[in-house]
Chain A
Amino acid sequence: MLPENITSIVARNERWTGEAASEPHEAGWAHEAVIFVRSLKDPKGPQPQVRAEISPDGMRWVPEGTAVAMPTARDGIAVLRIRHFGNWLRVAASFPEGSENTVLVTMHLKA
């Protein structure tokens, strides 16, 4: 049987400001995750890093260690490649006052 492979949209056209994060996603069956964060509109203000976060329970989150710069232009794409994340997975970013980015977050999960 072919290994499982799922593309999940965990945030679509969401305007991220302040402390922003994608909704919790369970992916314990997957050995790897590639997460794309695409800007659907021109971002405003200085852009922070977007970081992968993992969790023991889907409610309390800790940085996984992977972080990259948020896209700085419309249709720019940030990529995070992650392994060893247990079950729960999300991406988060801390925007300074006045900054924003409208995002499409796509998780590619593979067994």
Chain B
Amino acid sequence: MTHDPAMAEALRQALLRANPDLSRFDPLPRIISHDDFSRGHCGWSQLVGNYEDDLDAMLAGYAQHTSAMLSTLAHWEAGSHGGMDSSYALKLATRPRAGAQNVTIKRHTFRKRGPIRFEAYVTFKPEANELRLSETDVRAVGFAFDLQGGDRDGANDRVMPHLKFLNAKDGEHVQKWQFKTKTTPFTTFGSAKTVSHYHLSPEGWVDLADGGQRLCYNEIPTKVNWTYICFDFDLETMQATGFRCNDRVFDVSGFDSIRIPGMKNLWCMLNFLFFVETDVDKRAFLYIDSVCISGDF
């Protein structure tokens, strides 16, 4: 029997489209993980900062992080909103302090340096503790990867692509996508084997070309609508190859990542992060209905 690549791809597409769990995604040939949070946290854990000897050594950016939680998006006047096809979504909450952030991370390694695709359905809202629109209370939501090549790959940077939807800044409803190429200087702890940097610091964000986008923000803080994001990245070239959000396809030719010298213990690292930041002294919530991470390998 001869192998017919076109037929194989048509069959793969047909199987994906007939599967209600996967039909809303466009995964590359191999699905690395598919998380809908009706089966637990699916490996999305708290991002704890590095330290030695004492937790006091942890950078303040990381010290504020708490664990994500399984949520039914329960609201005080409308009850549980629920996810797209189960009761549950993963919820990431900041503390109630302007500028507070929280991060959840999933840690893998890769088998092959090639294309990967990161798809998710997400939404964000502030805590509903005021009876008003509150559309500028969430400062930002976004995602990032933390990557490094294999131990035999020669010249090897640690590469951290970041994409952030800057929703509001100091009360202004900004609504645009940004990327980041700079992190903070490294802090060294105790033995000097452990270092830390805070890559989500407010400095150094750059506007994505034509990156303005008005997302669906339903009229009060307790109504949500799910938004689709899809980010393509090539682990071989360590370059972004595509980004779309709902009906918009963005030009990523000007996109770049944080690039720092490779570290001696992070070979083949393939980490994925979501983050959220509040613009006011009120908790901001990022809800993740589902995530599909796939690759061509």
Contact = CB atoms under 8 A, between A and B. Distances in A.
Interface string A23-44: 1111111000000000010000
Binding site secondary structure of chain A:
loop
A8 to B, nearest CB: 4
Interface of A: 1, 4, 6, 8-13, 23-29, 40, 56-59, 87-88
B67 A59 contact: no
A73 B283 CA distance: 32
B69 A26 contact: yes
A27 B69 CA distance: 7
Interface residues of B, number: 26
Binding site secondary structure of chain B:
loop
B215 to A, nearest CB: 24
30 contacts: A6-B41, A6-B70, A8-B66, A8-B67, A9-B46, A9-B66, A9-B67, A10-B66, A10-B67, A12-B66, A13-B56, A13-B63, A23-B66, A24-B93, A25-B67, A25-B69, A26-B69, A26-B72, A26-B74, A27-B70, A28-B72, A29-B70, A40-B55, A56-B76, A57-B128, A58-B76, A58-B127, A59-B76, A59-B127, A87-B74
Given A4-B40, A57-B75, A58-B76, 5 more contacts: A9-B67, A12-B63, A24-B93, A26-B71, A59-B128
A23 B93 contact: yes
The 7 closest A-B pairs by CB, nearest first: A57-B76, A8-B67, A13-B55, A26-B71, A26-B69, A4-B40, A59-B129
Contacts of A26: 69-72, 74, 91
Contacts of B270: none
A36 to B, nearest CB: 14
A23 B76 contact: no
Interface of B: 39-41, 46, 48, 55-56, 58, 63, 66-67, 69-72, 74-76, 88, 91, 93, 95, 127-129, 283
